[in-house]
Amino acid sequence: MSKYRIEGVIVDTKNATKSYEEATRWNGSNHVSRATGSQWHHQTLHRSRRGRYYVERTSQWQGADPGAEFVSPEEAVRWLMVNEHEVPAELSAEAESVSE
């Protein structure tokens, strides 16, 4: 579990009420993240205990620093859809506006 400072707030992934792992696709040689398009860079979407969504970014590259940022409800829905997760009821209105 990790802690990040985002916009003056400390978020701790162990306090997340929900976490969503990225989906991957097999390119014949490696598992590639659907969220990043990379085999090396990864993302996890978390819902904070206050109900805000944030994306945690990690990397397998040596020396790359992990990080996190808050995302809008619309961005959270896009992330969930691209990564093949069911959209929670609390975001259903946003789901209508971001998909066709």
Residue pair 44/19 in contact (Cβ under 8 Å)? The answer is yes
Please report whether residue 80 resides in a domain: no
Please report whether residue 13 resides in a domain: yes
**pLDDT number for residue 63:** 87
pLDDT above 90 for 99: no
**pLDDT number for residue 6:** 96
Please report whether residue 61 resides in a domain: yes
pLDDT above 80 for 89: yes
Is residue 27 exposed (0-12), middle (13-18) or buried (19+ Cβ within 10 Å)?
A: exposed
> What digits encode the pLDDT tens for the residues 35-72?
999 999 999 999 999 999 999 999 998 888 999 999 99
Please report whether residue 21 resides in a domain: yes
| Neighbour tally for 89: CB within 10 Å | 8
Please report whether residue 43 resides in a domain: yes
Please report whether residue 83 resides in a domain: no
| Total domains present in the chain | 1
What confidence category does residue 76 fall into, taking pLDDT thresholds of 50, 70 and 90? very high
Please report whether residue 82 resides in a domain: no
CA distance 78 to 96: 11
Residue 37 lies in domain = 3-71
> What digits encode the pLDDT tens for the residues 11-40?
999 999 999 999 999 999 999 999 999 999
Please report whether residue 89 resides in a domain: no
**pLDDT number for residue 51:** 96
Where do we find the tokens 């969504």? 53
CA distance 54 to 19: 10
